[in-house]
Amino acid sequence: MILATVGTHEDQFNRLLLELNRLVEAGDITERVVVQSGYCDADAPSVECHKQLPFDELQALMAEARIIITHGGPASIMQAMGHGKVPIVVPRQSKHGEHVDDHQCRFAEKMRERVLVVLDIQQLGVLIEEWDERVALLPATDFGPERAAQFSDKLDSLCRDLLS
């Protein structure tokens, strides 16, 4: 199963939802696709959409998923890593009306050695297809619950430094 989460930001993320639907309809994805779709308003009949999922349900789906696709929010990325998964990160982009600026793109670029990043949505299918091979190229210590906890501590420290 592939799980995609767009987070809770109030702007739509139709670009990701529509591409996943297209990949399923084209037969490029043959497994179940579950999407926590948030404020998306596009019609995607070939994927299983849930506007919002309770935290426990989302965590259970993350644990079950073969691949997790997430927007560029640090919490979503860290949740995926906390389940021992290397997520495919598709950052929201301001030019598509998905966020107020491109901070998710900048964050994803900083994480590129630990996650798989898709800036061009047309590359999502390739990354899904090559997920196993791409993940195998990353150091094993860069994902999993321990690494997620370390990164979370560092992120908290950076945030405290920025706010002080």
Domains of the chain, CATH where assigned: 2-163 (3.40.50.2000)
Per-residue pLDDT tens for 95-145?
766 777 777 878 888 888 889 999 999 999 999 999 999 988 887 655 555
pLDDT for residue 102: 78
Find the farthest-apart pair of alpha carbons in the chain and give their distance in angstroms, rounded.
Answer: 51
Task: Report the C-alpha gap between 50 and 57 in whole angstroms.
Answer: 11
